[in-house]
Structure 1
Amino acid sequence: MGVEGREKVKVLDIGAHALSGQLGKTIQRLRKAYNLSLSELAEQSGVAKSIISQIERNETNPTLATIWRLSQALDVSIERVLSSGDDEPFIDKTTKGDTPILVSDDGKVRLGIIGWIKTVEWLQWYDVNAEPGGVLDSDAHQRGSIECLSVMDGEFEVEVSGQIQRAKAGETLRYRCDRPHSVRCVSSTPGHATMVCILKAAVMD
């Protein structure tokens, strides 16, 4: 191995040690979020139970291949597993013009994606603006997901599996979104709300 190769390995080792504290905690929290035992995660990932236990206790620095197998078994991206802690303060700004917009099939509901791209696999949130009568039909998200719709203006109606509930300004609806669901603006004036989707992979202590 040449000097350049040794330097690359050195850098990777330093990075692995820096991530080790957060990595073990992340693996453990994701495993518990899926209610998996060490044995079950070992079976699904092909990584030895003893190795997973060492990773969670921060007693070893796993290879990239091992992290990849664990991320596949936990149904999250490798970036999510490797993401470092939030010790470094920062302020991030997205302008109105840079905010991605999703539009419903009927063109009457607009969702501004105001959530952080780094949390999209476990937490998503949107700024919802709807014309009277606008309908947002959504397919089922991953099993165990919950959606929260907080109304600021107008009135909205949510339908899940034949059950319907309405909310006015100042009210919030929380509902399972791991099955097809619809959100409608039922007021005679435009509706405004925020929508937060907490996916199964969310880390909730």
Structure 2
Amino acid sequence: MAPRVRAEIENGALIVSGQLGKTIQRLRKAYNLSLSELAEQSGVAKSIISQIERNETNPTLATIWRLSQALDVSIERVLAAGEDAPFIEKLSRADTPALVSEDGKVRLSIIGWIKTVEWLQWYDLTAEPSGALESDAHQRGSIECLSVLSGEAEIEVAGHVERVRAGETLRYRCDRPHVIRNAGPEPLRATMVCIMKAAVMA
């Protein structure tokens, strides 16, 4: 059973009491990783990891997420808050994980809750004019819902193209290759929700 810890938020950082540092260290050693190797794989500075293992710092949720990804475990296993503790999370823009398209013009900020990532994901999408995000097929039956807040998007799924303007929402199967493009002259801003285990549409 994962160790129980208490977590609160202060100025964007997690105040953690319990066994977080020991858990990170135990998992790192179980994978026979040095501090330098874990730092390289996670993108978290070696000095920060060392401080976390000694419980000398309050890491952000984004930092714990990066470490959990590098250690190939769920963040729940690394950080399990008591059920009776209040749940409040606040991330700064800098601490919000993000993905960037190959052309560098589209940014997906991961604003969804890490506990739902296996079945429900949601993102803040921004794209410069002519920017395009090409995605491989997700698991069978997956659905994406794209709500445009400003600008104009063009969605291409299996050769079918649909335009979506500000105030409109497009839902489409994403279990096949698909592309999201900024189809207008202004920056595109949208919210995208991906339901990973939706029922297969007839």
TM-score normalised per structure 1: 0.56
RMSD of the alignment, in Å?
2.6
Number of the residue aligned with 2:137: 140
1:179 and 2:139 matched: no
C-alpha displacement of 1:87: 7.8
> Separation in 2 of the partners of 1:201 and 1:137?
21
State whether residues 143 and 196 of structure 2, in contact with CA within 8 Å, keep that contact through their aligned partners in structure 1: yes
Matches within 5 A, 1:143-182: 143-182=140-179
The structure having more radius of gyration, on CA atoms, is 1
1:115 and 2:112 matched: yes
1:103 and 2:100 matched: yes
C-alpha displacement of 1:88: 6.2
State whether residues 160 and 180 of structure 1, in contact with CA within 8 Å, keep that contact through their aligned partners in structure 2: yes
> Separation in 1 of the partners of 2:143 and 2:198?
11
User: Which is helix-richer, 1 or 2?
Assistant: 1
Deviations 1:78-133 (A, max 9, x none): x69xx99x886521111111001111011110111111111100001110010001
Change (3 A) 1:158 1:127: same
Residue 126 of structure 2 is aligned with which of 129, 147, 153? 129
TM-score normalised per structure 2: 0.56
> Separation in 2 of the partners of 1:108 and 1:159?
17
> Separation in 1 of the partners of 2:121 and 2:152?
22
Matches within 5 A, 1:15-164: 89-164=86-161
- SS of the aligned residue for 2:94 comes to helix
Aligned-pair identity (%): 69
> Separation in 1 of the partners of 2:117 and 2:181?
24
User: Which is strand-richer, 1 or 2?
Assistant: 2
- One-letter code of the match for 1:111? L
- One-letter code of the match for 1:136? L
Number of aligned residue pairs: give it.
125
State whether residues 153 and 183 of structure 2, in contact with CA within 8 Å, keep that contact through their aligned partners in structure 1: yes
State whether residues 145 and 200 of structure 1, in contact with CA within 8 Å, keep that contact through their aligned partners in structure 2: yes
Superposed structure 1 runs of 4+ greater than 4 Å apart: 86-89
Residue 198 of structure 1 is aligned with which of 172, 195, 200? 195
Unaligned stretches of 5+ residues in structure 1: 1-11, 16-76
- SS of the aligned residue for 1:121 comes to coil
